[in-house]
Amino acid sequence: MGKQRVVITGMGAVTPLGTGLDLYWDGLLRGRSGVRRITHLDAEKYSSQIAGEVPDFNPEQYMDKKELRRTAKFTQFGLAAAEMAVKDADLDLDALDRDRCGVILGCGVGGIDATQDTCKIFEEKGPGRISPFFVPMMISNMVSGQTAIRFGFKGVNYTVVTACASGTNGVGEAFHRIQRGDVDLILTGGTEASITGVGLGGFCSMKALSLRNDQPERASRPFDRDRDGFVIGEGAGVLVLESLEHARRRGARIYAEVLGYGATCDAYHMTAPDPEGNGAARAMEMAIREAGLDPCDINYINAHGTSTDLNDKTETMAIKRVFGDYAYRVAISSTKSMTGHLLGAAGGIEAIAAAKSVQEDRVAPTINYENQDPECDLDYVPNHSRELRVNYAISNTFGFGGHNAVILLGKPGDRG
């Protein structure tokens, strides 16, 4: 069997711009910010008091109360996004060979809400009062396990944990599994729910977050000279990937084709990127090479673009390293300017944004771009969405630990 072509046929999103694919994509194109003052907890004692919270999520629409009590929030987000993706793909579960259907999701942190709550119970009431569901609520792999249980998918199943690169690594790994014929279909993407006291406090202590508390909607400003840190976000993005043959057999609608994947490590520092951008550049080059393309074929880059000083400079440097003079002609945007940074879920929702750009020939803006940084001097699609022929798009995500992950998407067409 030769390499299988892999396509995206369904997508589901739980985001700070709203729950559902249409709300998410419409919010991006309108340049609407989903960043607000935090409501999940009393944030007055934290240096950063803003976040991209999901505003409209009702988990009871996706699971019963018994299941709800036994799942952490990141799993709830993931299950909801998976339900939406399956529905969007118009999958007939009874017609699938579920031994050849799998789940590969990404999550950076896991059930930090369950861990925080259980630690309090332990300290106040002792070990005898710890819930028997604590461990399965906490562990990151449970979202993939629960999703497989929900749909009866008995093929490959695991969760990728590579910090903020998790979601993109999940999509890339799913792509390769289907490409080599291991399975026909995989639910993939990422999920995260880290806006808790401990999660917020940890990032505040690292001095990684924006302190623009009086202007939440303007706080996430990737590539702008006055950026001062990222904004923590939450949510999930799940995609249905399947072989082109499988999709055609069932008459599926196709958003985009997955053509390339690159994954590297900086091997440099726990949290800081390689100052030369070498690892990020190599990941982009790997994805482009696997797709059989040249850098000048790429029309759009959904950037990692966190709104931190180091990330945005080094990502710009990496893009210049890969694209040369063409770097100044490729459209680049960071949708984190509107959603904040969803950590392990970022790659999921950003893969969706890239796929929609390929499908609709429209690219989302980088909002809050007001003052050019001399070290970030490319075309970041400032403040307004743009109509643009997008034959090929890449999505970048980079994570603590030096993880770099890139996927490349294209219009589904005849490629031999």
Q: Is residue 21 part of a domain?
A: yes
Computed over every residue of the chain, the mean pLDDT equals 96
pLDDT, tens digit (0-9, with 9 covering 90-100), for 83-106: 999 999 999 999 999 999 999 999
Exposure of 63 in the CB half-sphere (CA atoms within 13 A): 24
User: Do 312 and 218 belong to one domain?
Assistant: no
In this predicted structure, what is the pLDDT of residue 137?
87
Q: Is residue 255 part of a domain?
A: no
Count of domains for the chain = 2
User: Do 147 and 265 belong to one domain?
Assistant: no
Q: Is residue 72 part of a domain?
A: yes
**Rounded Cα distance, 96 and 242, in Å:** 12
pLDDT, tens digit (0-9, with 9 covering 90-100), for 370-412: 999 999 999 999 999 999 999 999 999 999 999 999 999 999 9
Does residue 336 surpass a pLDDT of 70?
Answer: yes
In this predicted structure, what is the pLDDT of residue 414?
64
Does residue 203 surpass a pLDDT of 50?
Answer: yes
Does residue 260 surpass a pLDDT of 70?
Answer: yes
In this predicted structure, what is the pLDDT of residue 405?
98
Q: Is residue 256 part of a domain?
A: no
pLDDT, tens digit (0-9, with 9 covering 90-100), for 211-233: 999 999 999 999 999 999 999 99
User: Do 265 and 244 belong to one domain?
Assistant: no
User: Do 317 and 383 belong to one domain?
Assistant: yes
In this predicted structure, what is the pLDDT of residue 413?
80
In this predicted structure, what is the pLDDT of residue 416?
45
Q: Is residue 317 part of a domain?
A: yes
Q: What percent of the chain has pLDDT over 90?
A: 94
Does residue 242 surpass a pLDDT of 50?
Answer: yes
User: Do 188 and 49 belong to one domain?
Assistant: yes
Q: Is residue 221 part of a domain?
A: yes
Q: Which two tokens stand for residue 14?
A: 């739980």
User: Do 221 and 330 belong to one domain?
Assistant: no
Largest CA distance in the chain: 65
* Pairing outcome for strands 392-399 and 300-302: parallel
User: Do 265 and 245 belong to one domain?
Assistant: no
Does residue 415 surpass a pLDDT of 70?
Answer: no
Concatenating the DSSP letter of every residue in 365-402 gives -BTT--SBBTTB-S---BSS-EE---SEEEEEEEETTT
Owner of token pair 């194109």:
29
Tell which of 204, 229, 249 closes a domain.
249
User: Do 265 and 221 belong to one domain?
Assistant: no
Q: Is residue 369 part of a domain?
A: yes
- The CATH code of the domain that includes 238 is 3.40.47.10
User: Do 192 and 92 belong to one domain?
Assistant: yes
User: Do 347 and 236 belong to one domain?
Assistant: no
Burial class (CB in 10 A: 0-12, 13-18, 19+), 335: buried
CB burial of 221-245 (b: ≥16 within 10 Å; e: otherwise) equals bbbbeebbbbbbbbbbbbbbbbbbe
**Rounded Cα distance, 126 and 119, in Å:** 9
Domain containing 317: what range? 261-410
Concatenating the DSSP letter of every residue in 47-85 gives S--EEB--SS--GGGTS-HHHHHTS-HHHHHHHHHHHHH
User: Do 404 and 307 belong to one domain?
Assistant: yes
Mean pLDDT computed over 254-279 = 95
Q: Is residue 344 part of a domain?
A: yes
Tell which of 207, 222, 249 closes a domain.
249
List residues with catalytic annotation. Answer: 164, 304, 341
pLDDT, tens digit (0-9, with 9 covering 90-100), for 25-66: 999 999 999 999 999 999 999 999 999 999 999 999 999 999
CA-based nearest residue to 298, from 260, 328, 330, 258: 330
Find out whether 244 and 176 touch, Cβ atoms under 8 Å: no
Tell which of 249, 282, 312 closes a domain.
249
User: Do 67 and 213 belong to one domain?
Assistant: yes
Per the confidence metrics, is the pTM higher than 0.75?
A: yes
Strand, coil or helix: 411: coil
